[in-house]
Amino acid sequence: MNNFGIYVIITKPELPYTTIAEKCVENNISMLQLREKHLSDRELLKVARDLRTITKGTNTSLVINDRPDIAVLCDADYLHLGQDDINIEDARRIVGNMKTGLSTHSLEQAREALDKKPDYIGFGPVFPTNAKVRPDPPVGTNLLKQVIDFAKVPVVAIGGIFPDNMHQVVAAGAKNIAMVRHFMQTTEFEKRVQAAQKQLTLQ
């Protein structure tokens, strides 16, 4: 199983989109997801193509959230779908063999998602979070450990994760971690990414 390590999700960043993509490539981040729900379709496609230009041919895979059409148009590496998005079967009619990830928020959702043979799943929020308008209830590290134990694909731990509680997530077996607010609400993106990478490998 190829784990990703630190998984970066771009959503309302302090820094320019292209700066974040450049820093991800420089720091060997495996997964960079574009998750911007407030942009128009045209703006979203432009940002996606700008990110693709920077990530193409590097070790950083570009993931497009929610939008199979944008994923195809920008030639992304992955499509990521949430529980309220178009289902994976319909999405595959648009993206073909493009790799796909699915968000899950409970044991039941995780099992159902894994039956659909995604390339990875997200599981969370691990801790309370306000990164979403309507956050799901926290799943905690015990459920996270259970999902990691039965999943045959990488599991990305997400939701309310910061440097001071990251050790709990790693102790549960997480090898793939997303820290949305910690990375986006700062101009010290690269410094924080490097520190998180170090924390993940040291534990």
Number of domains within the chain? 1
Q: Tens digit of pLDDT per residue, the chain (203 long)? A: 889 999 999 999 999 999 999 999 999 999 999 999 999 999 999 999 999 999 999 999 999 999 999 999 999 999 999 999 999 999 999 999 999 999 999 999 999 999 999 999 999 999 998 766 677 899 999 999 999 999 999 999 999 999 999 999 999 999 999 999 999 999 999 999 999 999 998 76
Contacts of 199 by beta carbon, 8 Å cutoff, 6+ apart: 163, 166, 167, 170
pTM for the full predicted model: 0.96
Helix intervals (H) in the chain: 17-26, 41-55, 68-73, 88-95, 107-115, 140-150, 166-171, 180-184, 189-202
What is residue 104's predicted lDDT score, i.e. its pLDDT?
Answer: 98
What is residue 60's predicted lDDT score, i.e. its pLDDT?
Answer: 98
Structural domain that includes position 97: 5-202
Question: Rounded to whole angstroms, how far apart are CA atoms 134 and 96?
Answer: 31
What is residue 131's predicted lDDT score, i.e. its pLDDT?
Answer: 62
Domain CATH for 41: 3.20.20.70
What is residue 202's predicted lDDT score, i.e. its pLDDT?
Answer: 77
CB 122 within 8 A of CB 139: no
What is residue 132's predicted lDDT score, i.e. its pLDDT?
Answer: 65
What is residue 1's predicted lDDT score, i.e. its pLDDT?
Answer: 81
